[in-house]
Amino acid sequence: MRELRTTNTLPTEFGSAELLYQNKLIAPSELNKSFTWLYGRDKSSFPLLTLTEGNGATKSIKPKEMNDTQYTWKTFGRPIRTSRVIGLVNALNVTPGKGAVTFEVYFEDNLFHNHYGLYTPDGQCTARVQGEGVLVGVKKYKYRIQLMTGDKTAYIALDNFLAGKAWTYGPTSIPLSKSDGTTSNTTVPGLWTNQFGAWRYSYPIAGNIANKAVIYEFDATDQNGNSAGKTNLWLPFQMKMWEIERRELIETDLWESEYNRTAEGVILNTDDETGEVVPKGAGVKSQIKAIGNWSTYGNLSLAILDKTVLSVLGNRQDKVAGEVVLYTGKGGLRMINKAIMNDAKANQFFTPLGAETISGGDYLSYGKYFNQYKTIDGWILTIKTTDYFDHSLIAQMQIANGQVFEGLPYYSYNLVSLDHSMSDDGERNIQFVCEKGREYIANVYKGMAPLPGAWGSVPDNLISTKKDVASYEVMGTLGIGITNPTTSFWLEFQR
């Protein structure tokens, strides 16, 4: 079927009356001048901007030095009690620990200390550390351990020594006389680092376009964004569309931006014209992936959802996270509803499920859907569908590339749980981060071209150029700061 192009998106250097004439926007009057939004209006396309910038969760940070947009925050992680095994030193030993004979094992670090107990991954045995670990390679320590047992035939199963298996330490054991002391581990505070970037957009005009009316009728708004009737002027409507596009780009940046400093703290990206570095901070996905709370799925089940929720929200031991929101698109909502329905059917909840789903009198209605899920541990996930995942820039690209499942882009099926709770210091866990003094700057570059009222008040007798042009300039800094990303997760849909 041939595609019907209902909209023209045009890259232009200047918005001018010539643009209106070329696209037949200035023409004789028509009966119906109201504009029909074929794809609906943008409503919930900016979830992060709405829940951070819109609710006052904005943090302005003063840079320490020129061009350094980094910021840090103090953290205190949970003490680590486990160490991962590399393998037996003697690979031919098939009965390690038999007869309580001391044997040697490689671990990735020196977390275990002399006299400490050890618990095997299978939970069947305990052992004792016989001396401190000795460094024998990069992240490779050799330990001497002994099985704690009264059974001469007992030994530790070989599966416990598979590379990557985690062991944990336990209480010390010492002789009743002539014992010596041991050492312990210390957990110290640390710093997490991110940075914010900068953006700038321009809307140039030429000639008398500010006063040109077109054949369409638009909703007019005043300087505060309130309804002000109807208008046929082109510029106010076009500025609104330009502002929506700008916010769409910023919203995408907050979710998808990648941190661009090297391990040495150097920014490799530079601007060709000025030679200055171009900083970018880590967005929501990057911050969540950095601490390992990112995974993929193809077919959602409650087991997957439960496992993800428990592994992430279980990181909070201080208090229950009161404002945990699961963001997704229409696809993700369908996946969750399907998973809950399948689980209900597997438990033979046919009658109550049918009574809730089918309703009506003479005309039956079919369709009640789940938008909240409570885990066995009492965590309640409120599911918020947002147009961002259905219609974002990435979603549009996936549609164009055929990355569609059951009529929706893959991006629509992403499940992102964000903890918006207040931290102990009274600040939101997730904040919009800006450079102090450059949160948002708007100015007009004025020439001889008449300015539209939507640009605000500008002195008539002051101009910056002799040309019949003008430009509306906005710039700002942006970043998304997640104080504790360990309580959020990202489940990415893949086929």
Q: Which of 172, 200, 226 is the last residue in one of the domains? A: 172
Give one DSSP letter per residue of 50-106, joined into a string: HHTGGGT-EEEE--SSTT--EEEEEE-PPPP-EEEEEEESSTT-SSTTGGG--EEEE
Would the pLDDT of 163 be above 90?
Answer: yes
Question: Cα(469)–Cα(204) distance, rounded to whole angstroms?
Answer: 7
- Contact present, 362 and 392 (Cβ < 8 Å): no
Backbone angles phi, psi at 434, to 5 degrees: -135, 165
How much is the pTM? 0.67
Same domain, 39 and 127: no
Q: Is 158 exposed, middle or buried (0-12, 13-18, 19+ CB in 10 A)?
A: middle
Same domain, 57 and 113: no
Given this model, what pLDDT does residue 246 score? 84
pLDDT, greater one: 234 or 223: 234
CATH number of the domain to which 103 belongs: 2.40.30
Same domain, 365 and 331: yes
Would the pLDDT of 316 be above 80?
Answer: no
Answer yes or no: is 185 within a domain. no
Closest CA to 144 of 96, 94, 80, 95: 96
pLDDT, greater one: 372 or 121: 121
Would the pLDDT of 203 be above 50?
Answer: yes
Answer yes or no: is 180 within a domain. no
Closest CA to 430 of 155, 2, 73: 73
Same domain, 154 and 209: no
Answer yes or no: is 179 within a domain. no
Answer yes or no: is 3 within a domain. no
Would the pLDDT of 114 be above 80?
Answer: yes
- Identify the residue whose tokens are 């880590």: 282
pLDDT, greater one: 124 or 203: 124
277-287 tens-digit pLDDT: 888 888 899 98
Same domain, 397 and 492: yes
10-31 tens-digit pLDDT: 555 556 555 554 554 544 434 3
Same domain, 366 and 468: yes
pLDDT (mean) for 195-215: 77
Same domain, 198 and 147: no
Q: Which of 107, 140, 172 is the last residue in one of the domains? A: 172
Q: Which two tokens stand for residue 2?
A: 């041939």
Answer yes or no: is 178 within a domain. no
**Residues spanned by the domain of 21:** 9-78+190-495
Q: For residue 439, what pLDDT band results from cuts at 50, 70 and 90?
A: confident
Answer yes or no: is 61 within a domain. yes
How many domains, the chain? 2
Given this model, what pLDDT does residue 32 score? 37
Same domain, 339 and 351: yes
Same domain, 128 and 267: no
